[in-house]
Amino acid sequence: MFASSVNKCRFLPLTAIVLTVFAPFCAFAQEVSETDIVITGERLLDEAAIREAVRDMAGQRRFDQPLLRFHDPVCLFVSGLGEAGGAQVRGRVLTNARMASVPVAEEGCRANALVLVVNDPETLIQQLAQKRPRLIPSAERRRLDVALARGEPVLVSHNEEMRGTEGEKVRISSTAPGMPVTGPGSQFSAETRINSHGRARRVGATHSRTVMSGVIIFNIKHLIGMDLLRVADYATMRLLAPGMRAVPESWDGAIEHEADEQRSILAPFAAEHGAERMTRFDRAWLGALYDLAPNAAATRLAGAVARVYASDEE
């Protein structure tokens, strides 16, 4: 049984995990007891350091690229930690989400965010590709294969979709705008999303990007002896902040010096090293991401994180 740390666990066969998650792939309760969030003392960063840290860790930097995040309410499912451990991790992630104004689904929702703990991630990825190929697109599968080859202990994948400027779903049509409904050339060879609300604007992109589904897969061997709340906080950032890279690097490609080692829970993520909980920087990142306009450009994130980080002092 799990208490507050990962020690040992009897796993269901991987096929059973896949079937449990995806059939019927819904109706998991979201009402769990709130977990107290305690932010311990840490070295404060000035605005310049925050902006540089965001640039270091941001996977999205283009001015014409909207930030990727959840626009639909998050419905979380946790597998592989037992009933008590799963409830503890789920409760913590959902509490973190609510604190950052991330939309959270009601009870009986369809799962769109998965936390899976297994002893053979590679086999699980193969089974997901066979049984639920739409969950992990081919481009994501290639990226996960590279991560597996590197021996990375945590795998993360997000399935995204283009939305309108306010995060709303766009119309799907097989007819090109401005083309005849009938006659030669009137039909696309495949259905296409039509952003009828998109228009040129000085601030923000003409569309937004939403996470349709996200999955994080932990290798149990990497979690032995690790506090479950730390696992939950790490999962929070990897799932809900898709553009945040796990390993911060300095401009010359080297890992940041030890003084900055614990600015984020994402790196290093090892049982005896790194931050034990989401840091002030992590919470500022998550809060800023979900406070910006749905179509906000990636280049606006650094300033927004700095503002949220500073506001915590007030």
Greater model confidence, 256 or 93 = 93
* pLDDT for the residue numbered 60: 73
* pLDDT for the residue numbered 48: 93
On whether the CB atoms of residues 105 and 246 are closer than 8 A, the answer is no
The answer as to whether 258 is a domain residue is no
The answer as to whether 2 is a domain residue is no
The answer as to whether 9 is a domain residue is no
On whether the CB atoms of residues 102 and 74 are closer than 8 A, the answer is yes
Residue 64, domain extent: 14-34+42-245+264-311
* pLDDT for the residue numbered 180: 57
Could you give the 3-state DSSP secondary structure of residue 238?
helix
Mean pLDDT over each residue of the chain, to the nearest integer: 80
* pLDDT for the residue numbered 202: 47
The answer as to whether 6 is a domain residue is no
The answer as to whether 60 is a domain residue is yes
pLDDT digits (tens, 9 = 90+) for 98-148: 999 999 999 899 999 999 999 999 999 999 888 888 888 888 889 999 999
| Alpha-helical regions (H) of the chain | 14-22, 47-57, 82-99, 121-131, 138-150, 220-223, 228-240, 280-291, 301-311
Question: Would you place residue 241 in the very low, low, confident or very high pLDDT band (cuts 50, 70, 90)?
Answer: very high
Could you give the 3-state DSSP secondary structure of residue 160?
strand
Per-residue pLDDT for 57 more than 70? yes
The answer as to whether 53 is a domain residue is yes
The answer as to whether 138 is a domain residue is yes
Please count the structural domains in the chain.
1
Q: How many of the other CB atoms lie within 10 Å of CB of 234? A: 28
The answer as to whether 259 is a domain residue is no
Greater model confidence, 17 or 258 = 17
Main-chain phi, psi angles of 105, to 5 degrees:
-75, 160
pLDDT digits (tens, 9 = 90+) for 200-218: 444 557 889 999 999 999 9
* pLDDT for the residue numbered 255: 46
